Structure 1
Amino acid sequence: MSVGLISVTSPLKAATAPQSGPIRYDSAARTFRMDAGDVTYILGVAEDGDLQTLYWGKRLRIQDPSPAPRTEGGSGFELPIDVTPHEFVGWGGGLYVVPNLKVSFPDGNRDLVLHYLSHTIRENTLTIKVKDIERDVVVDLIYEMDPATGVLARSARIENRTKEAFTIEEAFAATWNLPSSSDYQLRYLTGRWASEFNLQEQALHPGKVVLESRRGSTGDEVNPWFAIERGAQPDQDTGDVWFGALAWSGSWQINVEQNAANRVRVTGGFTPFDFAYSLKPGQSLDTPKFYGGYSDGGIGGASRLLHRFELDAVVPQSPNRKLRPVLYNSWEATGFDVNEAGQEALAEKAASIGVERFVMDDGWFGKRKDDHAGLGDWYVNPQKFPNGLKPLIDKVHTLGMDFGLWVEPEMVNPDSDLYRAHPDWVLNFPGRPRTEGRNQLVLNLARPDVRAYVYGFLDKLLTENDVAFLKWDYNRNWSEPGWPAAPLEQQKQVYVEAVRNLYNILAELRAKHPKVEIESCSGGGARVDLGVLRYTDEVWPSDNTDPFDRLRIQNGFSYAYAPGVMMAWVTDSPNWMNNRSTSLEYRFLSSMQGGLGIGANLNKWTPEEFATAKTMIAQYKRVRSTVQEGALYRLISPENGSEHSVTESLSKDGREATLFAFLHSSQLGESYPRIYPRGLDEAGEYSIRALDGQLDSRIPQHASGDYWMHHGIEISLRGDFQAMLFTLEKVEAK
């Protein structure tokens, strides 16, 4: 046995291998302790073999005692199993709370009682094996703790070692248990198309809150993220916060339960709605990963911790990912009416202002002239591009930009050669209507032939063309989620197998074409989660590009996801969404808080607009690394009808703070609120500099971090839809 690996095959047998690293097993107390970042997580094995959560919170000293597992009493109406903080529990023995695993056996039995069997420890990963008290149903509970942030990934592998198939009716990845408290506040994100990532806050009370998507994909109606804070804190940066995010891009469910004793348990995984997974002997099912973390730095600290984890441990190429390039997308300029000459003309204009990536959107393939036809026929339209894509790509390269394409691989129009040849390839119930959304149907990616087709045309496209970027779109939810080609008992597995194949396609494409970057887009932000972010470099939060609306959308987005993966575009004014007119500077500053893109019709810009855009893009490149990689502080929130919004991004080395300030409308001659930066070195000296807008001449050019954070900064913004950008730069000591 190698050093660093501990294996215990009996609950009575002590570990003898050296115990080093962040995970320790106390054989006498039968407890596991994980320490990383500023977090400690402790679980233990009770006398009856149940796994219990014992502690999750701020890091404890190594000499501190660990709490011991215990079984609490109850009444005939509240059995001990329902008040015990289980790590992972089967449905059986009088359980009334949400179980992690519910199984139906061929003989009609549905009782499942899981007890500890053994465990292994390898570096940052703990695997605990639990088994039913009678039947050979074995579950591996997998814990992976990130060394830097203490974010814990939990998942389960359910294995059938019996001699007959059984049906899994519910499968949740993990349960997070919080101590008893009567003042918990729950945050989560809801939305709809063009109004995604709305932050919801509510006090928790005894009962259950269900967050769920039944749509076949993540969904923008509610995002698979939560945060629970103890007490209502006066600002963003104080207080205990526990948070979690489910890494799954299909239908999902998170249950937040608080019992009468004010204990909270959060259980997440596949939604049980319309779900059944038949597991044959020797087969296994892996749940999604359910990430959880803790911060004593308030919801702001929790966000920054999650952002750092995402950028350093989740997204492709982490922790040394590339900065997002400045992008131009041709959609609003040309719609479906794309051709070689028109795209080349746009590319020249984009290059002139400093754009680094040119993306041609919808309309380049098949018989695509509108959204009624062509999806599924992924060949270059010969009328629009008689010589293929190479001349356009070569032109883009000569202009100093790389080239990207829009694709929607998982969909098909009924008016397409693909659908006429393979009408059975879509999700459907035989003999029933096929509901169209945006004039398209959903390909059943669970089918091996569909998976092969989708991978095949994408691989061919990337092999034959020097494409650096794919904007991967997904413009409708599922309907009629049938899989008639599969055996009846396996048809509901479509919810799992389709998403697995999506991930496999993305992984294989990235392995074969490692220089290609991918954006996850789903009619805006309907597929943003830590599952798809494992395979994509950036996400599109919303089709709504109104710069004022975007302040609130981007604010909500930032609670769960890092600005470094968020794309934001500068588009035309008046904006198509609200007919709102704003200055080009305001539009740029709104979009410069993430990955910057330009989607406006450059064919209509004036020379003055080109000059302004060139200046703004240069300013963005100056602060890009701080915005995309730094720590985000929400200084003034745009929520609840606020007239003001201020964000600060602090560079990883703490040497630069970039601040964006926005004003909706001046009223009654009121001054702009004083701005108080966060996170600076109190004793360090910082110089202040306006990149866009003007600072009051009375503001000192240099002052300590203490001064800026506690005295604050007064700026003058007056009028409607005004904004400015300024920086604080640390001065080298002489």
Structure 2
Amino acid sequence: MIIVHEQDLLFHLKNTQVSYVFRVMEETGILENLYYGSTISDYENFDWLLEREIRPGNNLVPEKLLTSLEHIKQEMPVYGTTDFRYPALEVTYPDGDSISHFRYQGYKIFKGKEAVKPLPATFGEADQVQVLEVFLKDDYSDLHLTLRYAIYKELPVITRQTFLQNKGQQDYLLKHLASLNIDLPNEQYDWLHLDGAWARENHLSREKIHRGVQQVSSTRGASSHVHNPFLAICQPQTTESQGKVYGFSLIYSGNFQAQIELDNYDYLRIQLGINPFQFQWQLRSGETFVSPEAVAVFSLHGFSGMTQAFHSLFRRHLIRSSWKDVPRPVLLNSWEAAYFDFDEKKILDIAGASKELGVELFVLDDGWFGSRNSDKGSLGNWTENCEKLPRGLANLVRDIKAMGLQFGLWFEPEMVSDDTPLYQAHPDWIIGHPKKNISQGRNQYVLDFGNPKIVDVIYDQMDKILKEVPIDYLKLDMNRYISEAYSSELSPVQQGEVAHRYILGVYALYDRLANAYPHILIESCAGGGARFDAGMLYYSPQIWTSDDTDAVERLVIQAGTSMVYPLSSMGSHVSAVPNHQVARTTSLDMRKNVAFFGVFGYELNPLALTQEEKEQIRQQIKEYKAYQELIMQGDFYRLATGDTNRIAWMVVSPDQSEALVGYYQILAQPNPTYQRLRLRGLKEDDCYQVIEANTESQRYGRDLESIGLLLSQNYLGHEPEYWSREMLGDFSSRLVYLKRV
């Protein structure tokens, strides 16, 4: 998959779906990108891809008018080489300047791939992935740069990662190191990104690319509710099913920047990496700085093609948990059932009622520790709340497991409250300047996880609980951002390292927990989706998608999240109504039909249900278990409906033998038009049994794709029934199951 033209110093990464070609430029030793896109033949000579007009402006080589790097597509642009676009690498030298020139030195190819600690990354066996490392050295120092490329055999995926090593005796200040830089010819592209806020995460935005710089980023210490570390570019005519798409995702959970720069010669520069805002890393002699890994996906089959490539890569080559391919238990979380208001009897009653419904895992959320009765204290004091649980967690869990339930527990390990022994003994362990104002968020402070001693203390507290209590599931939460990045442990010149060191500490904690307790299912959470990113997926196979559990809001949230992240990673629960976030009332059926397309569970009080609702939930759980493997392992399609009032999607098994379709109408419409829903991903010549509620019919795959499901009714021969029909009203949904005959 990696072809090297030794004489021309040219590299061609190639599989059946994608090609990536770059070369070493003559005289300068700089890496020039020639092509990235659908797979092409490997030619003896690639000179036909070179673009060189004479530019009389700044040229790198004197009297050579073809060496203006401002107009050349590059792999790793730096400042000081006549390129006036934003660089991918910026280093401050002892003289105070930032002029660099990294020149080609050599390469290495190997098969198989593992993550390079301390960061998460993709991995694969020798027959699945090949890796190319290209080595560069700075002309002006002993700084060495390694660009790592990986290509996966079965996927239209190229990954990029960057390593900067200081082999000299002097220290340098690293100001910026992008994980990926790609320069592409512009084709009047649009760009897509995911943005929002708490309780409305990952809304999809699509905009025209204009001259200059456009970006999404985070400065909050987490990838954030506001933007996701993802962007895509596409042709204007691109849809879910057709058109060219380049998708980019960063495997990182901290401050990031994903940037597009369109220059005056119609080249498009795309960069992903750690946000250079307030970032500065002291690179000492002998040290190496490792950037997060970036993923580039190419699709000729629209957004669905991009989505399925991301989903396959993340499911097979990023999530490492022992739970990655195991059916997840249907859980009930105590948060919306009780909030902080519970005691041992109430928890046991809720757990018992959950078991009667068919729930498999009971999760005790916030409020079980210290003296926690509100969000105003006890974080960092991970000991049982003796007033609420006088017999302790171990006895409570023993009784819950005797019911036949698994047990899960909530922690928020990265935070501390000021009423705890931990804070009172170590007030300097929080992030913030001790002589300046330190803000609170949700009445709590952020622990300085860049300090390994603090991670050790929190891990030891958690480890004590986990050793004494048989726990099957952990929900690890994070409910506030970093607003004053300062560490009392670091020198003044290192304060730009706080945010990155913090997220490395978070990864270290997750890594220790996953290694010590591989049987435990870990679900990451950050006030909902504030850290729903590929970095966290490496450690936790599922992430709480949003604190907003309203079925209508979740349609947009889950559709946006599905652009990049697989259904098997998206925590998706049925909650009580009126909904606790938006006060909307939707049917239990609607809530179920939305939550099915994710990791299914409940977020309600089973003691408050009617007998009819209890029976409905019993049937829902049985239905979900029948579809679970299909939902977790299938290919996902967002279906075109023609308007924002109607949303539809489907998941198709890898062998195309079955599929599940969800169709949702938000508001009812008077005198509706005739409507059809064209399906995708089926085998054209196969016949499928189409099952909806109590009706069945048989249709061929080609007909379901070209004509679709007819959503309007046919009252021919039974007209009187029209006047007595049950009208669905607002917030209605349909679920259709297809099985190959």
Give me the TM-score of the superposition, normalised by structure 2.
Answer: 0.92
Matches within 5 A, 1:216-615: 216-233=221-238, 235-317=239-321, 321-615=325-619
Deviates more, 1:444-453 or 1:664-673: 664-673
The amino acid across from 2:733 in the alignment is A
Q: Give the distance between the partners of 2:522 and 2:550, measured in 1 at CA.
A: 24
Q: Give the distance between the partners of 2:498 and 2:674, measured in 1 at CA.
A: 54
Please give the secondary structure, in 2, of the residue aligned with 1:588.
helix
Which residue of the other structure, out of 701, 704, 708, is the alignment partner of 1:708?
Answer: 704
Q: Deviation at 1:420?
A: 1.1
1:3 corresponds in structure 2 to none
Maintained 8 Å contact 2:321/2:539:
no
Q: Deviation at 1:508?
A: 1.7
1:215 corresponds in structure 2 to 220
Please give the secondary structure, in 1, of the residue aligned with 2:709.
coil
1:51 corresponds in structure 2 to 31
Q: Deviation at 1:320?
A: 5.5
Q: Deviation at 1:130?
A: 0.6
**In the alignment, is residue 82 of structure 1 matched against residue 84 of structure 2?**
no
Q: Give the distance between the partners of 1:88 and 1:617, measured in 2 at CA.
A: 51
Q: Give the distance between the partners of 1:643 and 1:241, measured in 2 at CA.
A: 26
Which residue of the other structure, out of 206, 215, 222, is the alignment partner of 1:201?
Answer: 206
**In the alignment, is residue 662 of structure 1 matched against residue 664 of structure 2?**
yes
The amino acid across from 2:445 in the alignment is L
Q: Give the distance between the partners of 1:84 and 1:318, measured in 2 at CA.
A: 45
Please give the secondary structure, in 2, of the residue aligned with 1:626.
helix
**In the alignment, is residue 171 of structure 1 matched against residue 177 of structure 2?**
yes
Q: Give the distance between the partners of 1:399 and 1:714, measured in 2 at CA.
A: 46
Q: Give the distance between the partners of 1:722 and 1:70, measured in 2 at CA.
A: 55
Instruction: Give the alignment's Cα RMSD to 1 decimal.
Output: 1.8
Maintained 8 Å contact 2:323/2:541:
no
Q: Give the distance between the partners of 1:72 and 1:355, measured in 2 at CA.
A: 67
Which residue of the other structure, out of 172, 185, 190, is the alignment partner of 2:195?
Answer: 190
**In the alignment, is residue 147 of structure 1 matched against residue 135 of structure 2?**
no
2:730 corresponds in structure 1 to 720
How many pairs were matched up?
A: 700
Q: Give the distance between the partners of 1:474 and 1:672, measured in 2 at CA.
A: 47
Give me the TM-score of the superposition, normalised by structure 1.
Answer: 0.92
Please give the secondary structure, in 2, of the residue aligned with 1:115.
strand
Maintained 8 Å contact 2:322/2:518:
no
Please give the secondary structure, in 1, of the residue aligned with 2:710.
coil
Please give the secondary structure, in 2, of the residue aligned with 1:90.
coil
Unaligned runs of 5+ in 1: 1-21
Maintained 8 Å contact 2:640/2:678:
no
Q: Give the distance between the partners of 1:37 and 1:559, measured in 2 at CA.
A: 23
Please give the secondary structure, in 1, of the residue aligned with 2:666.
strand
Deviates more, 1:567-576 or 1:87-96: 87-96
Where has structure 1 moved over 4 Å in runs of 4 or more? Answer: 62-65, 67-72
Q: Give the distance between the partners of 1:483 and 1:531, measured in 2 at CA.
A: 23
The amino acid across from 2:167 in the alignment is R
Maintained 8 Å contact 1:180/1:261:
no
Q: Deviation at 1:60?
A: 1.9
2:140 corresponds in structure 1 to 134
Q: Deviation at 1:448?
A: 2.1
2:722 corresponds in structure 1 to none
Q: Give the distance between the partners of 2:212 and 2:457, measured in 1 at CA.
A: 47
Q: Deviation at 1:671?
A: 4.2
Maintained 8 Å contact 1:312/1:318:
no
Please give the secondary structure, in 2, of the residue aligned with 1:415.
coil
Please give the secondary structure, in 2, of the residue aligned with 1:389.
helix
Maintained 8 Å contact 1:240/1:296:
yes
**Residues 1:672 and 1:566: Cα distance change in structure 2 (over 3 Å):** farther
Q: Deviation at 1:672?
A: 5.9
Please give the secondary structure, in 1, of the residue aligned with 2:563.
helix
Q: Give the distance between the partners of 2:348 and 2:674, measured in 1 at CA.
A: 44
1:111 corresponds in structure 2 to 99
Q: Give the distance between the partners of 1:435 and 1:225, measured in 2 at CA.
A: 29
Unaligned runs of 5+ in 2: 60-66, 112-129, 713-726
1:645 corresponds in structure 2 to 647
Measured against aligned partners, the alpha-carbon deviations of 1:150-176 in whole angstroms (never above 9, x if no partner) come to 322211111111211110111111202
Q: Give the distance between the partners of 1:252 and 1:720, measured in 2 at CA.
A: 40
Measured against aligned partners, the alpha-carbon deviations of 1:389-413 in whole angstroms (never above 9, x if no partner) come to 1222222323332111111000011
Q: Deviation at 1:62?
A: 4.5
Q: Deviation at 1:36?
A: 3.1
Q: Give the distance between the partners of 1:75 and 1:670, measured in 2 at CA.
A: 64
Maintained 8 Å contact 2:161/2:291:
yes
Maintained 8 Å contact 1:52/1:69:
no
**Residues 1:568 and 1:149: Cα distance change in structure 2 (over 3 Å):** same
Q: Give the distance between the partners of 2:568 and 2:544, measured in 1 at CA.
A: 12
Maintained 8 Å contact 1:205/1:258:
yes
**Residues 1:358 and 1:29: Cα distance change in structure 2 (over 3 Å):** same
Measured against aligned partners, the alpha-carbon deviations of 1:82-119 in whole angstroms (never above 9, x if no partner) come to 22111112221233212111111112232111111111
Percent identity between matched residues is: 31
Maintained 8 Å contact 1:407/1:470:
yes
Please give the secondary structure, in 2, of the residue aligned with 1:462.
helix
Q: Give the distance between the partners of 1:99 and 1:293, measured in 2 at CA.
A: 22
**Residues 1:65 and 1:312: Cα distance change in structure 2 (over 3 Å):** farther
Please give the secondary structure, in 2, of the residue aligned with 1:348.
helix
Q: Give the distance between the partners of 2:648 and 2:676, measured in 1 at CA.
A: 10
Q: Give the distance between the partners of 2:169 and 2:353, measured in 1 at CA.
A: 67
2:115 corresponds in structure 1 to none
Q: Deviation at 1:653?
A: 1.6
**In the alignment, is residue 40 of structure 1 matched against residue 19 of structure 2?**
yes
1:4 corresponds in structure 2 to none
The amino acid across from 2:108 in the alignment is T
Maintained 8 Å contact 2:146/2:163:
yes
2:120 corresponds in structure 1 to none
Please give the secondary structure, in 2, of the residue aligned with 1:560.
coil
Measured against aligned partners, the alpha-carbon deviations of 1:16-51 in whole angstroms (never above 9, x if no partner) come to xxxxxx112110221111123511111111112111
Q: Give the distance between the partners of 1:192 and 1:62, measured in 2 at CA.
A: 46
Maintained 8 Å contact 2:58/2:68:
no
Q: Give the distance between the partners of 2:440 and 2:476, measured in 1 at CA.
A: 20
Please give the secondary structure, in 2, of the residue aligned with 1:226.
strand
The amino acid across from 2:670 in the alignment is L
